[in-house]
Amino acid sequence: MSTEQELLTKWHSLPQDKQEEVLDFVEFLHLKNSANKTPLGERLRQIRARIVNSGKQLLDEDEIERELASRRGGLQSKE
């Protein structure tokens, strides 16, 4: 039996609510996989790889906040 046939056989034996859970999970996996293959995502991975390969450290969360604040004209209060 192929993997596809085995999956369908097991899926058909589940109650309707569990079948929907399986479909939701498969959709999640599909979206997760698709999101990693967009042209923008690929370009960002290439840029990150160049930065890491250059030996330069990536910014941490606080450094990103400071960079954003400086580009926005100073520190913004969080409310």
Segment 24-76, tens digit of pLDDT: 999 888 887 776 677 887 888 889 899 989 999 888 899 999 988 888 887 65
The per-residue pLDDT for 78 is 58
Q: Which domain holds residue 7?
A: 1-37
Confidence (pTM)? 0.44
Residue with tokens 């058909």: 12
Same domain, 32 and 56: no
The per-residue pLDDT for 14 is 95
The per-residue pLDDT for 17 is 92
Same domain, 54 and 73: yes
Same domain, 29 and 52: no
The per-residue pLDDT for 35 is 64
Give the Cα separation of 23 and 17 in Å (integer).
Answer: 10
Identity of residue 39: P
